[in-house]
Structures are given as structure tokens and as C-alpha cells.
Structure 1
């Protein structure tokens, strides 16, 4: 198994370091040798000086008494014992110097000769001193000098030879020191050169080791970005090999995701296509043949507007422009003409991609929805024209009969006429609610927005609902003096208040009271209508504002459109509406239902 990058990096650092360490060890040994040679040179110099001094002292000790015996004054003469003691000390020092050094080879022979000459010279010198003590005549001194002189010469020659030998050795040591200094310079230069060479070799090795994997990784990343085939994966066990294999794994996952996406697009029930900046189709899924009767190949290159009906060409071009200019999805309903000339109604959602510089679109077939919408419109128109108008005429006729203008009716017949009028009015109210709901649901009911006092609108609504409240002995408490201005459609908001108050009266017990509370902030005004009574079931609250939804207690008391209309009106004003149950502030055991809505202030 090849080394991993961490081991490889440590190797690159360790090899030059080991080379430098080896060179430093060699240079340290060389420096130690130089130091030892320097110490040897100093010892040799000291040895030469001491031997020279010893030779001079011994010669003086033996010759000086002979020379100065007759010339020295009696008081200045040294005793024999003093001279012998001094000679013994110098002799001891000389012998220690000769015996205390590890002489080898020629030096050992010369040292042995010096020791022999020293023994001979000291022996002759001792005999000479003994003779001087016995007879100190001039002739006797000359005889001693004749004997002692040659011995001193031999001793001096041997000592001089040893000194010359030591000087020669010292000169050799000096030459070795100079040679060693040159060696140190060579070692230093070699260390630098070898370190540079080792670093360069390891750098080349490291570069060669990672160059191919890095180039392969770079090429595969570029291929992955361009959606091109990747080069074969590396088999190395290091980090670069693992990274390159990870790129292959990512590429496989991306290709799998693309295939899944392509399959999902091809099998989707909606038309999915890509447009360029001009609105021309770049690609489209196979469902286009069911949608438009044309294959993707036939549609490629055609502009979206060319598929629309003539009256929607501008709308299609505007959809493309708005989607490209915006970062949000844009929608539009477009009627497209099929290949056989038939019409298909579609709802388009388009989103522009800056990265791809393409417009991604999804079109849904809403022909069935359009058909149902047309049927609903036909039904509403039928109710409006075929029911409301006859009912209005019938209410007018029955009202005339019940009033007695055409003659008094019997009491029983008059009662039936009034009941018929009430039923017809409820039916007209239902029709009006249904028409209002339809207009609001389609967004076709315009709002006449202006500033209005909230207290005045509350007073108008209370005035309408008060007769119903009085009939049930219910009191309505409202802050009619409030002068807060609300930007709204007066008639629509009054209708909301009337609907909420009517519901409150219907579901409040008799002999109770309904409270209208106001709260405001710098931006909104909140209107709350509170009434006692049974709380609304928890599971019903989430759908109470849905059309035709009624609580079990109100199944036969209305159309189920009142709260839905209130919600649509409030939301058309960018407001909010809701409900909550709470306890009575005065009676904790009395449940209170609160409907509220919020509107923007002026």
C-alpha cells in the first residue's frame, strides 16, 4: 500500500533532516578531533618548555658549584644539602615529565635514551659533588669538569633530540589543524549542498507523486461541471485517491438524480418546458403530444405566443418578460390552440434562472376547471335572471295583496300572504348572498375606498340589526362616538358588521347583551363583537369561515355564506378576521364568543 499524504509529507521533511543530522554528527566528530589536537599541541608546547627548563636547571646545579666555588663569598655559598635537594627536585620533575607522558614509537625510544642519559648524568654529577667535597683544588675541579662536561653534552643532545621531536610533532599537529579546518569548511559546504539536493529531490518526488492525482481530480471536476464523462477513478489508497473516488460517487449520484428528474418530467401529467429569453421553446416533455398534439421536436424553437389564441399573444409575451425581469414565479392563464385546431386552457407558472439563463415553465390543463367555472357562471346567471326577478315581482304582488289595496283579505289568507312574503325575502337574501360570494370569489366586485369614521359605520349597522335584537330582548353596546378613520369601502364594511351582529343576536340567549369593543394601534383598528352563548366546537373553528359551513345549532338559520363573505371582504381590504372563546369579565361561568376583524387606519 502506498504511503498516505501525511506519511509522504513527513518523509519529505525527515529525509533532508536525517542527512543534515548525519553531516552534523560527522562535523561534530571532526571538531572534537580538532579540539583534541589543539590540546595535544598545547601539552607538547608545555612539555618542551618544561624539559628545556629541567635540562638547564640540572646543568646549572652540577656546573655552578664548580664554577662559583672559588668566586663566591663564604656567606653566599649554598650548602651541599641545599644543592642536593634542589637537584633531587629537578630530577624528580624531569622523571615525572618523562614517565607521565605516553610516548609511542620513536618518541618512546628518545624518552628512554633521555632517562638513561639523565641517570648517567645525575650519577656522574653526584660523584663529582662528592669529589668536590673531598678536595676542592683547581686541578681537581678541572678533572671533574673533564668528566662531567661530556656527560652533560650527551644528556643535552638527547634532551634536545626529544625536544626537536616534540616540536616536529607539534608542527604536524598544526598542519593537521589546518587540514581539519579545511575539512570543516568542506563539511559545511557539503551539508548545504546535500540538504538542497535532498530537498529538491524530495520536492520533485512529492510533486511527481501528487501531480497526476491532482490533475485527474481537476479534470474530473471540470468534466462534472460540464456534464461530460469522467476519467477512470484512481486506485491509490491515499487521501487524493479517496477524494477522486468520492467525485465519481458524487457524479454517479448526480447522474442518477438527473435520470430520476428526467423520468419524473417525462411522466409528469403537466406540460414542462424550458424557454429562452425570446420565449422560444428549448425543450419540452413528451406530454406535449397529449396537450397540443405536437411532438417535442415539432415544438422546439416555437415561441410561446405562437401557440396562444390571437387575443392572448400579448399576454403570453408579457408573462415571459415579467418572469425574466423578476426573481419570483409568475403565473398566467393562457388558451392554447392544438394542432387539430381545438382549444386547451392552461395555467402557466414560470421562473427565470440567472445561472442557466433559461425560463423554466410548468403548464397545467385547466380545461375542466374552466368548464366548471362556466357552468357555475351559467348557474349564477340563471339564478340572477330566472329566480331573483320573478321573486321580486312575486314579493311586490303579495305585498299589495297583504296591504288591502285591492281589497281586504280574510285574516287566514292575509297571514298566508305575509308568510309567503317572508319566505320569498329569505330566498332573495340567499340569492343576493350567493351573487355577492360569487363576485368576491372571482375578484369582480370592485371596492370604493375612502376614509370613513368607524363610529358612524357601527351606528349604521346597529340601526339595521337593532329591531331583531329588540325582538329577543338583547341589548347592543357600541362605542358609536368613536371618530377613528378607516380607509375602506363603507358599504362592504357595514355589511361585515351587520353579518357579525346578526350572528351574535341569533346565537345569544334572550335578555342578554352584545358588546362591540374597539382597540387601535398606529397602523390598524380592531373591531371585536362579543356575545354570550354556547361556545363554537373546537373542531369546527378552522372551517367556520368556509362557504356553506354551519355549526350544528345553525343548520336551519341561514345560508352558510355570511361568514365566508365577511372573510372575503376583510381580506380584500388587506385585513384579518378571526374568532376566540373567552370567559365573561363579569361572570366567569358565562362563555363568551368573540368575532373580530382588523382594518388599516387612514
Structure 2
């Protein structure tokens, strides 16, 4: 069976009826032409019969007039015969014209025309009969005319019989042509009906059925239902349906892979309906919470949530339905043993499916670690910083001679002890500050400050250490004010300057610059040194906690590794940015910028 394209099938459905109609129309035109020709021949035969009848009658009238003249010698009969002879000649010419156009004319016509021609030639002498006395020659003329009249009578009867037979044959041919034309029209009408029925059946059983199956498969593909059987065929609809089945198979394979991935993941993945009931959940729930999936399907999530957290969960889910963004919240979830585990929920609301899609993380250990860290920080703050502060005060008093005069060696030992206590207290303060910054506990005291005041205070605090290495501190600034927490910005600059002094070589220069940006929106600060720079592999890590930025050639410098992390936290708390880049041929530059008019909401 030929596999035609849909366009070819439609073209064939249009062209085939047109071709059949053209054949029927040609046949009908042929029959109509034959009928017309038969009618014309019949009309010609009727005209010939009429002319033959007239010629026959006129010959008899002329002969009768001559017989009366022969008996009465009345010239009026000659005149009558002459008038009839004139009509006879006219009708004879018409008859000759009609006969000459007649194909395959019978010999009776030629004989008839020959006798008529003799009569016409003889009729030209009729007028001379009345001018002379009636003699034997005129009697011979009349007798001759009467003899020709008898001959034409015989020939005319033969011709009439022949033409009547011919006319009868034409009538039969005309009837046959009419019958054929009617049959052609009837067959054409029946063929049209059959074509219409066949086309309707083809459309219903072929095109329409395929189209309906294709539309159903389109809907089923969209909603994830099983497709109907392939419609087959090599046309466009068949290929499109085949493509739909291929896509459905690929989607089913992808869903199976997705389901396998969800089932094998270590995290709990579930979906909730609008009322909060669990509609789907993966097997990880057994490993994480202890329930079998069948045990909690259809259960409302609220019944598993700790009573103190239910209001929070309800509020988060209700609010989430009003936006398309993901929502993350924490709550305590009861496991199969009746114990509560800390969980973190990431939910996404699908308006189309009216469903919450959730990923649940077990953060019990994380929460325990955070609580342990909080306890440790509280212990550091209370049990270490307070005694160290007291120890520092005692050492300061001893160094000032409150408890008696010390020897030179005692004074030196006391100063070393004070520096060690200061280092420990600063390290504890840095650690507490970093944790407070990360916990969002940093509060800024925003006021307007002259930038020159902040810069000079920072320089003065670092200058003693710089003088020990004979390092020059070069200040370059423009005079302008900035709205910021002056103490925090000062601490940031002191940390950056302290690092520069630590790593810069002796007798080098450190440049501290402060300028407003070209658009006047930012206060820009920079600290440039002439040290060894930062190893390229550590450029991205310098602001992380507990990271050191020393070079291998000089060894890692002493420090907690928290100073730059604190600087980054303080700058970002102001809504600014901080960074570092190496300079050519040596040295590096730390830069920061904060809004001149203070942090915007």
C-alpha cells in the first residue's frame, strides 16, 4: 500500500473527483454535440423534404397550366405557368444549395435534381408559346413538359420516400443521443454521490480518526497519561503521532530515572496538598525518621510537628502560597520512636498542581553543634575573658610599681606577660566578634565623621609598630565627611595597616589613601605596601576565617587568622565592598569602599 503524505492525500482527494467530473463532462459534451448534429441533420432533411414537396407541387401546377392552355389557348394559363416556373427555379436553386452541403447524399437526389434542371431549361421557353400560333411544335413542347412532369413525379416519390426514411433514422439517432445524455447525467450524479460518501467515509475513518487520536495523545502527553495506540501510516499525522510516542517513552524513562533518583537520595523529599496532607514521599523517610512511606501518606503534616512549632509552619506555608519564591524554615519533627528531630524544610509551591514540593534535611546534629558552639562561646566570654582581663589589670599595676619596685629583668618579664595577655584578650574578642557578625548581631552606630579624623587615628595607633621597622606611613586624602560607625571603620583600617606593617620590609613605605568616588556616592580607602604580596593561590582565601596570608619565604606570621574576616564583616555591614590585588613589581593593595551617606535600606 502506498504511503502518501497528508498533503498528497488531500491533493488526491481533491483531484480525483475533479478528474472524474472532467471525464463525465467530456462525455456529456460529446453526447450533446452528437444530439445537436442529429437535430441539425433532421432539420436539414425536413427542409429538403419541404423544398422537394414545393418543387413537386410547382411542377404539377406548371404542367396543369400548360394543359389548360393546350385545351383553351388562353394566354393567362401561360402566364400562370410562367409564374409557377419562376418559383420552381427559385426553389430548385435552394434545393441544390442544401443538397450540395449534404455529405453522402443518395442517388435519388441527383436524379431528381437532373430532372428539375431539364424542367428549368424547358421552362425558359414557356413565354414564347403565347407569342406564336399554336402549332405542332408547341404541342410537342407541352407533351415534353408533361412527360418530364411524370418523370419528376416518379423521382420525387422516390426522393420523398428516401428522405422520410432518412428522417426516421435521424429521429431514432436523436432519441438514442438523448438517452445516452440522460444516462451520462444520471451516472455523473450517482458518481458524485458515491464520491461524496467515499470522501466522507475517508475523512471519518482516516483523517478524522487519526486527528482525534492525535489530539487525545497530545492531551495525554501533557497530563502524563498513557497514550493511545499508534495510528500508523507514513503521512504527517502518523509521523507526528510516532514522535509523540517517542517523546512519551523518553519522558517515562526520565520520570523513572527521576523517581529512582528521588527514591535513592539520602534526603527526604515529599509533596503536600493544599491542606497540608502528605501526598507523596520517598523511601528516605524510613532511614531519617523511621516511618514507612505507607504509614504517613495522607497524614496531615501538622500532626508530626512539635506543638511549639506548628504556628510557625502554618504561617510559612500559608504565606508561601502568595508568592512563587522558595521558603526555608526550621521545625521539630516527631520520628517513629516519638522523639523530635530538628529539620530544615525547603518548600516550593506549584500553583498549577496545587501542591507543595518539599525537601527535608535532618539538622539535628547541626543544631546540636551550634548549641555546643554557643555554650563554648559563652564559656570563652565568661570563663576566659573575665579572668584574663583581671590578670591584665594586675600585670599593669605590677608594671607601674603598685606592688613594689621591680628589677629590670622583672620589668621585662612583666611587659612580655602583658603582651601575651593582650594577645589572648584580642584573640578572644576577635573570635566573639566574628561569631556575632555571622549571627547577625552586629549593630552599627552611624554618625557623620571627618574622614581625616578616622585616618589619623588609625595611623597613630599603628605608627609605634611601624617605627620599630623604620617604615614610613604616607597619608594621602581629600577632606570630606562620611556617615558611618567611626569606631568600626577605624578598627578595619587598623587591622589592614597592622597586616601591612607585619609583612612589609624594613625601611619601606606604606601608603594610606582616602578619596570620594567620581560620582560622589562612595568613600574609597586603600592601603598599599611594598611587601612580598600575596601568593596567587591565596588571593581568593584571604578574607576567610583562620586563614594566613604570609609567604613561604618568610613563614606564616603570628596571628589568629580572624583579622581580615572581621574587616570584611564590618565593611559589608556598612553596605560596602572590600578586596585585595597584587601590585607590580612588588607589594599589594587592600581597598574598601562604603556609602558616603550611610547604608541604604
TM-score scaled by length of structure 1: 0.77
Report what 1:564 is aligned to: 565
The residue correspondences of 1:483-562 to structure 2 (distance < 5 A) are: 483=481, 485-486=482-483, 488-509=484-505, 510-520=507-517, 524-533=521-530, 534-553=532-551, 555-562=556-563
The residue correspondences of 1:171-570 to structure 2 (distance < 5 A) are: 191=188, 194-219=191-216, 231-234=228-231, 236=233, 238-449=235-446, 457-469=454-466, 472-479=470-477, 481-483=479-481, 485-486=482-483, 488-509=484-505, 510-520=507-517, 524-533=521-530, 534-553=532-551, 555-570=556-571
Q: What secondary structure does 1:9 align onto?
A: helix
Distance in 1 (alpha carbons) for counterparts of 2:340 and 2:593: 44
Shift of 1:436: 0.8
Q: What secondary structure does 1:325 align onto?
A: coil
Shift of 1:450: 5.7
Q: List per-residue Cα deviations over 1:259-301 (Å, max 9, x = no partner).
A: 3333333322112222233333333333333333333344344
The residue correspondences of 1:114-193 to structure 2 (distance < 5 A) are: 114-118=112-116, 121=119, 138-154=134-150, 157=153, 158=155, 162=159, 191=188
Q: List per-residue Cα deviations over 1:431-461 (Å, max 9, x = no partner).
A: 2111111111222333445666655544544
Report what 2:86 is aligned to: none
Distance in 2 (alpha carbons) for counterparts of 1:93 and 1:325: 106
Distance in 2 (alpha carbons) for counterparts of 1:523 and 1:27: 97
Contact 1:31/1:184 (<8 A) preserved: yes
**Against the structure 1 CA distance between its residues 91 and 342, is the aligned structure 2 distance closer, same or farther, given a 3 Å change threshold?**
closer
Distance in 2 (alpha carbons) for counterparts of 1:573 and 1:182: 107
Distance in 2 (alpha carbons) for counterparts of 1:125 and 1:337: 143
Contact 2:497/2:527 (<8 A) preserved: no
Contact 1:273/1:285 (<8 A) preserved: yes
**Against the structure 1 CA distance between its residues 221 and 123, is the aligned structure 2 distance closer, same or farther, given a 3 Å change threshold?**
closer
**Against the structure 1 CA distance between its residues 152 and 297, is the aligned structure 2 distance closer, same or farther, given a 3 Å change threshold?**
same
Q: What secondary structure does 2:545 align onto?
A: coil
**Against the structure 1 CA distance between its residues 97 and 215, is the aligned structure 2 distance closer, same or farther, given a 3 Å change threshold?**
closer
Q: List per-residue Cα deviations over 1:346-396 (Å, max 9, x = no partner).
A: 211111121221212211122222233233333333332333223222222
Moved more, 280-289 or 239-248: 239-248
Distance in 2 (alpha carbons) for counterparts of 1:180 and 1:598: 108
Shift of 1:519: 4.1
Contact 1:98/1:115 (<8 A) preserved: no
**Against the structure 1 CA distance between its residues 478 and 123, is the aligned structure 2 distance closer, same or farther, given a 3 Å change threshold?**
closer
Contact 1:276/1:359 (<8 A) preserved: yes
Distance in 1 (alpha carbons) for counterparts of 2:350 and 2:255: 17
Q: What secondary structure does 2:568 align onto?
A: helix
Moved more, 15-24 or 315-324: 315-324
Contact 1:395/1:425 (<8 A) preserved: yes
Distance in 1 (alpha carbons) for counterparts of 2:92 and 2:192: 58
Shift of 1:21: 0.9
Q: What secondary structure does 2:316 align onto?
A: helix
Distance in 2 (alpha carbons) for counterparts of 1:196 and 1:453: 101
Distance in 2 (alpha carbons) for counterparts of 1:512 and 1:227: 72
Moved more, 20-29 or 147-156: 147-156
**Against the structure 1 CA distance between its residues 264 and 98, is the aligned structure 2 distance closer, same or farther, given a 3 Å change threshold?**
closer
**Against the structure 1 CA distance between its residues 148 and 502, is the aligned structure 2 distance closer, same or farther, given a 3 Å change threshold?**
farther
The residue correspondences of 1:54-69 to structure 2 (distance < 5 A) are: none
**Against the structure 1 CA distance between its residues 242 and 122, is the aligned structure 2 distance closer, same or farther, given a 3 Å change threshold?**
closer
**Against the structure 1 CA distance between its residues 517 and 42, is the aligned structure 2 distance closer, same or farther, given a 3 Å change threshold?**
farther
Shift of 1:159: 6.2
Contact 2:526/2:591 (<8 A) preserved: yes
Q: List per-residue Cα deviations over 1:283-327 (Å, max 9, x = no partner).
A: 333333333333334434444343333432322222322333331
Shift of 1:573: 3.8
Distance in 1 (alpha carbons) for counterparts of 2:50 and 2:533: 129
Moved more, 190-199 or 400-409: 190-199
Q: List per-residue Cα deviations over 1:101-160 (Å, max 9, x = no partner).
A: 4334xxx1421421552576589789x89xx99x97541552243134214524664469
Shift of 1:331: 1.1
CA root-mean-square deviation: 4.7
Moved more, 293-302 or 47-56: 47-56
Contact 1:430/1:559 (<8 A) preserved: yes
TM-score scaled by length of structure 2: 0.78
**Against the structure 1 CA distance between its residues 176 and 437, is the aligned structure 2 distance closer, same or farther, given a 3 Å change threshold?**
same
Distance in 1 (alpha carbons) for counterparts of 2:306 and 2:165: 122
Unaligned runs of 5+ in 2: 64-68, 70-74, 76-90
Q: What secondary structure does 1:552 align onto?
A: coil
Q: What secondary structure does 2:321 align onto?
A: helix
Report what 2:20 is aligned to: 19
Shift of 1:529: 0.4
Q: Does 1:29 align with 2:25?
A: no
Shift of 1:344: 2.0
Distance in 2 (alpha carbons) for counterparts of 1:442 and 1:422: 30
Distance in 2 (alpha carbons) for counterparts of 1:453 and 1:33: 119
Distance in 2 (alpha carbons) for counterparts of 1:343 and 1:147: 154
Contact 2:571/2:592 (<8 A) preserved: no
**Against the structure 1 CA distance between its residues 177 and 600, is the aligned structure 2 distance closer, same or farther, given a 3 Å change threshold?**
farther
Report what 1:575 is aligned to: 576
Contact 2:534/2:550 (<8 A) preserved: no
Contact 2:305/2:331 (<8 A) preserved: yes
